Amino acid sequence: MSSKFSRINFHTETVERFKQYAIANDANYTETLEATLDFFEKYSINPFVPFDDSVHHLEQVINKRMDAVEAILRRIETEQTKPTKKLLDRLFNQQEEEQPKFVERKYR
């Protein structure tokens, strides 16, 4: 059972560009158009908005995520790593720090 076809009118120059693009990618026209639409939908790119705005938005999102990762790492360092290091230092240096409080003296 074949799919139904429909027509859309395009300018001749656009049709020629599209045909060349489809041939260059070794795909039929339907596959080429579907792949193009899927690409724009998947990556939320609007072809009518200048690409610099999209790149700037992506950069902002990435910077926010990197700031969040940095905050998480700082929190781990202050709440887990440093206290654990202090405990280990006290444990291993405990023998060196211990000095008798009272020293027995013998009188003759």
Residue 57 has pLDDT above 70, yes or no: yes
d(CA 37, CA 41): 6
| pTM for the model | 0.46
Per-chain mean pLDDT for the chain: 86
CB distance 24 to 18 below 8 Å: no
- What lies within 8 Å, CB to CB, of 28 at 6+ separation is 22
pLDDT in tens, 64-92: 999 999 999 999 988 888 888 888 888 88
